[in-house]
Structure 1
Amino acid sequence: MYFNKSSVVSALACASAAMGLSIPEVAHEHNKRDDSFANGIKLRIMPLGASITHGYLSTDGNGYRDVLRTSIVDGGNDVDMVGNNPEGEMEDNDNEGWPGYILDQVRDKAKTSAPQHRPNVYLINAGTNDCVRSIDIDNAGDRVEDLVNLLYDTGSEATVLLSTLLVNGNDTAEANVLKINEQIKQLVSDHQDAGHPIVLVDFHGDDGLTLDDIRSDGTHPTDAGYAKMAPFWIKGLREADDKGFLQAAVDV
């Protein structure tokens, strides 16, 4: 195991405090608090997207994933992070984040990885590269829809946590981010109305990441910015649990 647990939990605590969220207490060997999701079922989680999912430019290569995983495990769930592009110093560093990929490419990767791993939770942050390159922005929501439908077609046990895109320091890219985020919000609302297990994770809301959390390249989070993402995913998991969405993963 490569990470320093106390520093990871401290980072999550600081990020959560800034958002007004509570997180599980640190688990001690003989006094582990049960703050689990879905009565402690094992969560097979696929982080799915591009470079931000992969943890690009984070000091340890973990991005948000180590802070998130540690919090979930300390709360009482076993976790298996899955994907075909492992990265970072953390234990269990599997993910399906592919730097530079646009939405269509992320979907193409998911065609292989989703049936291979059959996660019961997807964490999707995808579309930033479409924004940076201004690729068919008005129809980006349709491409996200294709990705989400692919995941549901792969396994009905899956819960999707679909995030809005992070703030961007480039004016043109940010204008595109705002347009795609509105499409993502509508997509989530439509799927929820249809009874599908999906939750919106809003990184671009009033309490979301700001440009202070983004590196000078205008796109990728700082280490503190990555840590700030983790409690948003935790909040999304809690909402999914409260709605009864989380189901046991199938054997693969």
Structure 2
Amino acid sequence: MLQDHGFDVQMVGSRKAGLMHHEGWPGLRIDEIDKKARFSTPRLLPNVFTINAGSNDCLQSFKLDEAGVRLGNMLEYLWTASPDSTILLSTLIVSADKKTDLNVMRVNDQIRALAKQKAKDHKKLVFVDMNCEAGPDVRCLVDGVHPNDDGYEKMAKLWVNGMLEALRKGFLK
């Protein structure tokens, strides 16, 4: 999708799915993703990060009131390790489980506040709202948590819109 908009894309990461490298870690919380990022970011120096983190914090009800702080610390590290990078930060998608979805809403409020603060701080960050009308709904979940193909397509379109916004803002070289 990004190439359809003229982007030259080279995915990087310490993991691989098919032909695509990435740094996606299923089952990890924000603090665990942060540890992985501290290993790979200085080696790979990405210019764009797409961050969708916190779902497992919600599933585990893990220190939910501190999720935004943990996420903010990770973002600051990414900018320190890869100084000219742009971060696309998204909210979490819905959950079919009512308790988990309430946790998602709590964490999403923190993500929105974090994105607003980073914008005020003039950071190269674009907020991408996945928990919206255009994002995946519960019918797009294969297991109540993870998106099916339709859900991933909806997410991809929102990420592309975020990249286009980053381009309009002059964040990308």
Instruction: Tell whether the 8 Å contact from 2:134 to 2:154 is kept in structure 1 after alignment.
Output: no
Instruction: Tell whether the 8 Å contact from 2:126 to 2:166 is kept in structure 1 after alignment.
Output: yes
TM value normalised by structure 1:
0.67
Q: 1:116, 1:129 → 2: CA distance?
A: 26
The equivalent of 2:92 in structure 1 is 165
String of CA shifts for 1:151-176, please: whole Å, max 9, x gaps.
01112210000010010011111000
String of CA shifts for 1:83-137, please: whole Å, max 9, x gaps.
11111x3x3x111111111110100000011111101100011110000000010
Q: 1:182, 1:206 → 2: CA distance?
A: 17
Q: 1:218 aligns to what SS in structure 2?
A: coil
Q: 2:16 aligns to what SS in structure 1?
A: coil
User: In terms of Rg, which structure is larger?
Assistant: 1
The equivalent of 1:244 in structure 2 is 170
Matching of residues 120-135 of structure 1 within 5 Å: 120-135=47-62
Q: 2:60, 2:30 → 1: CA distance?
A: 12
Name the structure where helix makes up a greater proportion of residues.
2
Q: 1:220 aligns to what SS in structure 2?
A: coil
String of CA shifts for 1:202-232, please: whole Å, max 9, x gaps.
01023321101111x2100011111111110
The equivalent of 1:218 in structure 2 is 144
Q: What is the RMSD computed on CA atoms of the aligned residues?
A: 1.0
1:184 to 108, 111, 125: 111
Q: 2:82, 2:28 → 1: CA distance?
A: 24
Equivalent AA in structure 2 for residue 238 of structure 1: L
The equivalent of 1:15 in structure 2 is none
The equivalent of 1:96 in structure 2 is 23
The equivalent of 1:78 in structure 2 is 8
TM value normalised by structure 2:
0.96
String of CA shifts for 1:32-52, please: whole Å, max 9, x gaps.
xxxxxxxxxxxxxxxxxxxxx
What is the aligned residue count? 173
1:108 to 35, 41, 46: 35
Q: 2:6, 2:140 → 1: CA distance?
A: 30
Q: 1:94 aligns to what SS in structure 2?
A: strand
**Unaligned stretches of 5+ residues in structure 1:** 1-70, 248-252
2:157 to 198, 223, 231: 231
Deviation at 1:74, TM superposition (A): 2.9
**Unaligned stretches of 5+ residues in structure 2:** none
Q: 2:65 aligns to what SS in structure 1?
A: helix
- Which 4+ runs in 1 deviate beyond 3 A? none
String of CA shifts for 1:160-196, please: whole Å, max 9, x gaps.
0001001001111100000000100000100001110
String of CA shifts for 1:59-98, please: whole Å, max 9, x gaps.
xxxxxxxxxxxx22233222110111111x3x3x111111
Q: Which has the higher contact order (CA 8 A, sep 6+)?
A: 1
Q: 2:81, 2:63 → 1: CA distance?
A: 26
